[in-house]
Amino acid sequence: MTLPSLNLLLQSILSGIFIGALYGLIGLGLGLAWGLLRQINLAHFGLLFLGAYLSYHMATVWGIDPLLTLLVIPPLFFVFGVVMQWLLARFEVSPFNSLLITFGIAVVMESAIQAVWTADFRRLESHYSQMRFTVGSLYVPVPELLTLVLSAGIAILIWAAMRYTDLGKAMRAMAEDAPIAAAFGINQKGLSLVLAGICAALAGVAGICLALTFTLTPSQIFAWVGVVFAAVMLGGLGSAIGPLVAGMIIGVSEAITMAVASPSWAPIVSFSLLILVLLFRPGKIRA
């Protein structure tokens, strides 16, 4: 174990914040569905990668600017989310079974992605990839910064929507007590469809960010599950800002662990945090 230089440490913290923003963005849709719809949606990770590959395909094969895919992929995924929710509601799937079903869907999606794009590594090369600038002695890569801006912007937007719009208030009421909410005239079925659509669209946005910052391979789908779950549970189910904050805490602590110890120790941070939260603050997660 060697102590890194201050500059390296600061650079690590910065990259931790960036990766944490991505954790938060992926966790946002997952946590909303978990907290408000009582679904543990592993298909979210399938959608994440599908979004990433679609963005990669549009950018490298069709030559579309990756940021323009933001206008195409999320609406498409919204429709997918609505259809899936309609099916889950139709069969009255319990929270635990939703985990199993969406795992099955994720496996099918993984196979489909591999069938189309093969198991080889794919990298979205665009004019953003190499863009970076320096602040003092720190490098700031533009794709990562874009992810951070999107992640924070969307989280704040959703937080405000949940708090101040009628739709958001209705959703919170529904999550609190669905039968009572229904008795006060809230259309539970319709709201669930909209919410599931939004969550799927968020997976699409996160996928685009993933494609901008990471090299893709289908087998990586489940590698993200653990750390994102940790961010969601630390941040609180159904919370808009929580996963982002928790994601950054995890990202920074991982980055510091990598710099101080070795990169292979990094996973222990998020999972130990998750275990501790589960054991000592389980009520916070249930809420």
Partner 1 sequence: MSPPPGRPKEGLASHPAMLPAALAIALLAALPWLGLPAFYESFLYLVCHWTILAVSWNILSGYSGYFSFGHGAFFGVGMYASAYLAANLGWPFLLTLAPAAALAALLGLALGAVVFRVKAVRGELFALLTLAVTFVVATVVLNTPIDGGPGVYLHSVAVPEIGPTPSSSLYLMALAGAVATLAIAWRIFVARLGIGLFAIHDDEDVAEVMGVPTYRYKLVAFGTSCALAGLAGGIHALFVTYVTVAETFNITVPLTVVLMSVLGGVRHWAGPAVGALAITSLHYFFTAGIDPLVGRAAVGAILVAVILFMPQGILGFLLKRRRPQARPAASTAAVPAAPTRRAAPSGRSAPLLQVRNLSKSFKGVRALDSVSLDVYPGEILGLLGPNGSGKSTFINVVSGHFPASGGDIQFEGRDLVGLPAHRIARSGIARTYQIPRPFAHMSVLQNVSLVAMFGGAALDQRRALEQAWQWLDFTGLRDKAGALPDELNLHQRKFLELARALAARPRLVLLDEVLSGLTPGEINDAIELIRRIRDRGATIVFVEHVMRAVVALADRVVVLNHGRLIAEGPCESVMKDSEVVRAYLGAPAHA
Q: What is the dihedral of CA 196, 52, 26, 37, to 10 degrees?
A: 10
Residue 101 binds partner 1, judged by CB under 8 A: yes
Cite the beta strand spans of 154-279 per DSSP E.
Answer: none
Within 38-91, residue ranges assigned H as helices are 43-60, 69-90
| Beta carbons within 10 angstroms of residue 80's beta carbon | 18
- Cβ proximity to partner 1: between 164 and 265 the closer is 265
Site for partner 1 contains 182 (CB under 8 A): no
Q: Does 93 bind partner 1 (CB under 8 A)?
A: yes
From the list 9, 17, 64, 112, which residue makes contact with partner 1 (rule: CB under 8 A)? 112
Q: What number of H helices and E strands is found in the chain?
A: 12, 2
For residues 67 and 278, which CB has a smaller minimum distance to partner 1 in the complex? 278
Site stretch for partner 1 (CB under 8 A), options 68-76, 122-130, 177-185, 279-287: 279-287
Region for 186 from its dihedrals, namely left if φ exceeds 0, alpha if ψ lies in -120 to 50, beta otherwise: beta
Which residue of 22, 106, 162, 196 would you call a contact of partner 1, by CB under 8 A? 106
By CB under 8 A, tell whether 275 contacts partner 1: yes
**Min. distance of Cβ 81 from partner 1 in angstroms?**
16
The answer to whether residue 259 forms part of the interface with partner 1 (CB under 8 A) is no
Kindly tell me which of 4 and 267 has the beta carbon lying closer to partner 1. Answer: 267
DSSP letter assigned to residue 138: E
* Other Cβ atoms within 10 Å of 17 Cβ, number: 17
Q: Which of residues 223-242 bind partner 1 (CB under 8 A)?
A: 225-226, 229-230, 233
Give the residue with the Cβ less far from partner 1, 181 or 237.
237
AA identity, residue 265:
W
76 binds partner 1 (CB under 8 A): no
- Residue 158 to residue 105: CA distance in whole angstroms: 27
Taking alpha carbons only, the member of 207, 201, 204 closest to residue 52 is 207
Smallest separation, CB 73 to partner 1 (Å):
22
Residues contacting partner 1: total by CB under 8 A: 41
Residue that has been written with the tokens 């196979």 in this structure: 111
Q: At which residue do the structure tokens 């779950």 appear?
A: 229
Q: Does 286 bind partner 1 (CB under 8 A)?
A: yes
Answer for which of 7, 75, 104, 180 binds partner 1 (CB under 8 A) is 104
Residue pair 207/84 in contact (Cβ under 8 Å)? The answer is no
**Closer by beta carbon to partner 1, 141 or else 242:** 242
The span from the CA of 181 to the CA of 163, in Å, is: 16
Can residue 121 be called a binding residue for partner 1 (CB under 8 A)?
no
- C-alpha pair distances (Å), 132 with each of 145, 146, 216, 270: 9, 11, 21, 28
Binding site residues, partner 1, CB under 8 A? 40, 91, 93, 95-97, 99-101, 103-108, 110-112, 114-115, 222, 225-226, 229-230, 233, 262, 264-265, 267-268, 271-272, 274-275, 278-279, 282-283, 285-286
